[in-house]
Structure 1
């Protein structure tokens, strides 16, 4: 193949890739919605953005309901067992069976209720909510009080915990993607 043919071939491949990546079908394949009914139900019940719930689930478990973290968080939204007990008491939920954290519906209900709790605590600020979901509200409130972090999206790099900093960036990225791809479908 001559040099000009190679250049034309590469350009053609790049154009095809660009076209494919800009079609809704490809974006929906790359960012699927699983457990849509459970997410919509919980997000409506607790007044939480369903795109945020999707982003949390994708970041926490990759939509795998049997996922268990090294720290012991369980299920789609990676709820810690102690936090789950507190949520059940506070929210008045009635889980069925001992393995309720593995149940997608119950896990989504608990995680979404907790997001709603955090939204009330942080006046609806999604960046603080996401940080608190990962590091805990005590840590986030401490960072804010000590002025270690302003709580703004523009200052995510100031979050003292590297894990939380990366988590917030990842969840915001997924949130933005899901919101762009599924604006009408989840309303």
Structure 2
């Protein structure tokens, strides 16, 4: 998606350690109009597939997922929580994932009331690096008996291989911007064509 790539080049910052900071428009301050355009792009890509639920992981994916849901008939958005709380009651699906950004493992939890057998799920997230978070969400879907119909990613760091691995496993991954390389020394970012 050219619009997203242009925003990354204009407002993104490449940091040491393969970190791409896009908090000016994607995951701290949110550009809702951009999210709407992203939703339209995913609606076009996944048209013809039954999508009756969107699943993401807290926190950065929530805003994007809520706007995207409008393009899929206002389907419910469920987000996996990263910590147990007193508000989480009843039976739950739980797994553990490693976060590249946070450099640690954390639990991901979804109430069994909100992820069900027969659901047709679109996974949405802001970033895809090594794919660990998405594999955790996929595991929760499989445990529930839900079908993962597709995966929508705003920014994929293609050089880290997570997206390619998910595609090899047969998942329909639509990343709107795939960063092929980035250099913190001079701030350059190259996209996959």
TM-score normalised according to structure 1 size: 0.29
Task: Identify, as 1 or 2, the structure richer in strand.
Answer: 2
TM-score normalised according to structure 2 size: 0.28
Task: Identify, as 1 or 2, the structure richer in helix.
Answer: 1
Q: Rg bigger for which structure? A: 1
